[in-house]
Amino acid sequence: METIHWKRPKACADANACPEVSIGPDAVYVRSSLLPDAIAQLTPDEWRDLVSAIRNGEFDV
CA distance readout (Å), 9 to 1, 2, 22, 32, 56: 23, 22, 12, 12, 19
Reported as a single tens digit per residue, the pLDDT across 9-45 is: 888 877 778 999 999 989 999 999 999 999 999 999 9
Residue 60 domain-assigned (yes or no): no
> How would you label 22-61 residue by residue, b for 16+ Cβ within 10 Å and e otherwise?
beeeeebbbbeeeeeeeeeebeeeebeebeeeeeeeeeee
The pLDDT value recorded for residue 12 is 85
Residue 33 lies in a domain: yes
Say whether pTM exceeds 0.85: no
Considering its fold, how many domains does the chain have in total? Answer: 1
**Between residues 23 and 3, the one the model is more confident about:** 23
Q: Single out the residue of 28, 33, 27, 29 nearest to residue 11, CA to CA.
A: 33
Residue 45 belongs to a domain? yes
State the residue range of the domain holding 22: 10-55
Q: Kindly state whether residue 61 falls inside one of the protein's structural domains.
A: no
Q: Is 18 part of a structural domain of the chain? A: yes
pLDDT at 2: 67
